[in-house]
């Protein structure tokens, strides 16, 4: 139940955790969730204020709360423009439409990601082309992208997986030389950085999600950031039925408006994001410290120049198959730890993409290997040191 709301004390309270004599019944009363929204009085007051104002939305998608959230988010990431939309998939689809991607075009993206990006490509009429991932970062591998590029390639969508930025500089250097648009999928990377710049200020367009389990949330919501005036103008038209002005449609579009309540919650959450990121990093570092001596596990890496946002802490079991990995995950669940597998079925292996000709791909050995071996642990800011120690120690004992 990733979308549940938590206001109360930490799951284990203030009781001291005894690693030598731990007991599920004694120390754990409810599930430690993989991710959990962190909402408080500020978000409640913001939503109530919108309800009292009577301004719940705007026919152009630019109500006062939406504009406030957009300006603040653009400033936070260091981008010239931010355009709010209804969810992260809408952000991807709107970006593709703003880049005039359509039938006959190809878009390169990883298969080791959530299906929303591939579906957004299909909805434009273009063809998804799946590239392989780097074995250490799980992000799209530039060499595989180069192998996928054709004269039909119109865009590349690198995913900042688990909160770790892709090699966005390398992708953009490749893309610019071939007149290809880079649309970064940063749905999990709020606050992440590449070479000292925040994600959202680098790619041609960058897409964020504010789903309930993300680093900040509006319940459902999305944002596209860009430094390009033309893309920003196109995005604002796309989110409002392609209208240049009321009842004057000049391009394909949808109703992708963010509500005023969602924007008000997002604005309150954005103020807390730096503290959320600091706690996630602290929890990730503690998890690494506790698991570092576990030889069977490959722990997440943070390459030079990249700053993780720690949406998920993803580990890999050396040399195992999916069945063995799944047994470990099941045992963690039995100890009330919501370990998650992202993604056990890469997009290319799902029935729609496997059994049709709507996509193409080359060899994806690292994608398929990772899908059999990785799983993720909770490090979200609702968790304290006691819970992190419990998760790490339980995992160590489980795989010993």
- Does 362 or 180 have the greater pLDDT score? 180
Domain boundary among 238, 267, 296: 267
Q: Is 225:205 a contact under the CB 8 Å cutoff?
A: yes
When divided into structural domains, the chain yields a total of: 2
| Domain ranges, residue 361 | 19-37+273-399
**132 contacts 146 by C-beta, under 8 angstroms:** no
Gap between the Cα atoms of 203 and 169, Å rounded? 8
In this predicted structure, the answer to whether residue 301 has a pLDDT above a threshold of 50 is yes
Work out the average pLDDT over 344-366. Answer: 96
Are 221 and 111 in a shared domain?
yes
- For 278, phi and psi rounded to 5 degrees? -65, -40
Same domain, 320 and 376: yes
Q: Which residues contact 329 (CB under 8 A, 6 or more apart)?
A: 339, 340, 341, 375
> Is it the case that residue 157 has pLDDT exceeding 80?
yes
- Does residue 134 share a domain with residue 226? yes
Give the whole-angstrom CA distance, residue 165 versus residue 6.
28
pLDDT digits (tens, 9 = 90+) for 84-110: 999 999 999 999 999 999 999 999 999
Q: Using alpha carbons, select from 226, 232, 168 the residue that is nearest to residue 194.
A: 168
pLDDT tier for residue 211 given thresholds of 50, 70 and 90: very high
Strand partners, 84: 223
Mean pLDDT of all residues in 280-288: 98
Question: Average pLDDT, whole number, for the chain?
Answer: 92
CATH number for the domain spanning 389: value is 3.90.1150.10
- Burial of residue 124 (number of CB atoms within 10 Å: 0-12, 13-18, 19+): buried
Is the pLDDT confidence value at 166 over 50? Answer: yes
- pLDDT band for position 1 (50/70/90)? very low
Is 50 exceeded by the pLDDT of residue 21?
A: no
- 16 pLDDT higher than 70: no
Q: Please give the span between the terminal C-alpha atoms of the chain, in angstroms, as a whole number.
A: 29
What's the pLDDT at 10?
34
């Amino acid at each position: 139940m990733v979308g549940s709301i938590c206001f109360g004390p930490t799951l284990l309270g203030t009781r001291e955790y005894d690693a030598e004599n731990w007991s599920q019944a004694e120390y754990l009363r409810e599930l430690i969730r993989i991710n959990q929204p962190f909402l408080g009085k500020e978000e409640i007051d913001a939503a109530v204020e919108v309800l009292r104002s009577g301004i719940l939305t705007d026919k152009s998608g630019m109500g006062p709360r939406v504009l406030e959230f957009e300006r603040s988010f653009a400033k936070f990431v260091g981008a010239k423009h931010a355009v709010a939309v209804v969810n992260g998939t809408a952000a991807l689809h709107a970006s593709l439409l703003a880049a005039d991607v359509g039938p006959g075009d190809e878009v390169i993206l990883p298969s080791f990601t959530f299906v929303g990006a591939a579906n957004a490509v299909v909805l434009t009429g273009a063809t998804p082309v799946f590239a392989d991932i780097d074995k250490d970062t799980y992000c799209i591998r530039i060499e595989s992208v180069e192998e996928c590029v054709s004269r039909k390639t119109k865009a590349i969508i690198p995913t900042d997986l688990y909160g770790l930025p892709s090699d966005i500089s390398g992708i953009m250097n490749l893309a610019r030389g071939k007149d290809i648009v880079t649309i970064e999928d940063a749905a999990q990377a709020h606050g992440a950085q590449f070479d000292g710049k925040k994600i959202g200020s680098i790619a041609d367009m960058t897409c964020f999600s504010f789903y309930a389990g993300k680093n900040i949330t509006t319940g459902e919501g999305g944002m596209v950031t860009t430094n390009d005036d033309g893309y920003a103008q196109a995005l604002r038209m796309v989110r409002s039925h392609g209208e240049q002005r009321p009842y004057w449609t000049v391009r394909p579009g949808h109703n992708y408006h963010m509500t005023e309540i969602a924007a008000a919650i997002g604005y309150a959450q954005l103020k807390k994001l730096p503290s959320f990121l600091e706690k996630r990093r602290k929890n990730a570092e503690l998890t690494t410290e506790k698991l570092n001596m576990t030889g069977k596990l490959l722990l997440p890496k943070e390459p030079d120049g990249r700053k993780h946002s720690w949406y998920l802490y993803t580990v890999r079991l050396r040399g195992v198959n999916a069945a063995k990995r799944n047994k470990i995950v099941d045992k963690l669940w039995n100890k009330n730890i919501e370990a998650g597998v992202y993604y056990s079925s890469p997009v290319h292996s799902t029935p729609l993409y496997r059994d049709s000709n709507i996509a193409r791909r080359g060899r994806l050995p690292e994608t398929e290997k990772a899908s059999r071996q990785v799983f993720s642990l909770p490090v979200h800011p609702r968790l304290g040191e006691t819970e992190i120690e419990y998760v790490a120690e339980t995992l160590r004992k489980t795989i010993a």
